[in-house]
Amino acid sequence: MGLPECRIIYNALLEEKKNPAIDCLKKFITKKDKIEIRKAIKKDSEGWFAFHHFEYGMHIRNLLRKKGFGEEYFGINNLDNIYVELVEDAVKEK
């Protein structure tokens, strides 16, 4: 899901780093939004986020930074490279 080059960056991160950010997003993303995101992923697993990148994506990235999960926390140059994957993991059904 998401862009393959971003998935490589995301997969290289430690679970211990990702899990707290995913838990934060699970609390933030509404049930309705989770359902809509799952539908979008199902329809276009690689590009589902593109339409919402600037508005919703900016909101997600700013939330992550505000909660302490910014670029410095993850040791990356840009949250654009991993926020989609964090959202995907946050909305997964068990």
Per residue in 24-45, pLDDT (tens digit) is 999 999 999 999 999 999 999 8
| CA 90/CA 40 separation, integer angstroms | 14
Average pLDDT (4-33) is 94
Examine the pLDDT at 51 and tell me if it is beyond 80.
no
Q: Is 87 helix (H, G, I), strand (E, B) or coil?
A: helix
Average pLDDT (56-69) is 95
Q: Is 51 helix (H, G, I), strand (E, B) or coil?
A: helix
Q: What is the pTM of this model?
A: 0.92
7-38 core/surface letters (b: 16 or more CB in 10 A; e: else):
bebbeebeeeebeebbebbeeebeeeebeebe
Examine the pLDDT at 62 and tell me if it is beyond 70.
yes
Name the one residue in this structure whose structure tokens are 């840009």: 78
Q: How confident is the model at residue 54 (pLDDT cuts 50, 70, 90)?
A: low
Q: How confident is the model at residue 64 (pLDDT cuts 50, 70, 90)?
A: very high
Average pLDDT (2-20) is 91
